[in-house]
Structure 1
């Protein structure tokens, strides 16, 4: 199991388009992938749950990935956040 943190650095935060891109990544993996603030974790494969997080720019999120492909999933998710969801900022 991987338990780490991610910083939301894109200008608009985890809005609908960014959440959609995150779902494209998380849904490719068999691992259980959760995001949240502190102890409250949500399913990172569920668009409504992601939107309800209300994660704006500057938010630090907890990422928990557990499963057979957890390392690859974690790497790709971190890369997506680092690339600011490819929003061209």
Structure 2
């Protein structure tokens, strides 16, 4: 199991376009992925799940990845957060 901590750096938060990209990315791996914010934890397999967290600039989240290809999945998600959710 890999747990990564992230802070949303995009001024727009995690809105529909990057959330869609993140869900598609998660579906490429066999490992299960969850996002945890405060006391809510959701599976990273549905756009509605992700949008339901209403992630805004400055929010801290934990990403939990567990499974056969968790190392590769964690690296891909790390790259996503660095490239897609930085404040431009």
Same fold (TM over 0.5): yes
Structure 1 residue ranges, 4+ long, deviating more than 6 angstroms after superposition:
none
Given that 1:36 and 1:61 are in contact with CA atoms closer than 8 Å, whether structure 2 keeps it comes out as yes
Structure 2 unmatched ranges of 5 or more = none
Change (3 A) 1:39 1:3: farther
What is the TM-score when the length of structure 2 is the normalising length?
Answer: 0.90
Given that 1:7 and 1:81 are in contact with CA atoms closer than 8 Å, whether structure 2 keeps it comes out as no
1:10-29 paired onto structure 2 within 5 Å: 10-29=10-29
1:3-82 paired onto structure 2 within 5 Å: 3-82=3-82
Structure 1 unmatched ranges of 5 or more = none
Count matched residues: 88
TM-aligned CA deviation for residue 83 of structure 1: 1.1
Given that 2:2 and 2:64 are in contact with CA atoms closer than 8 Å, whether structure 1 keeps it comes out as yes
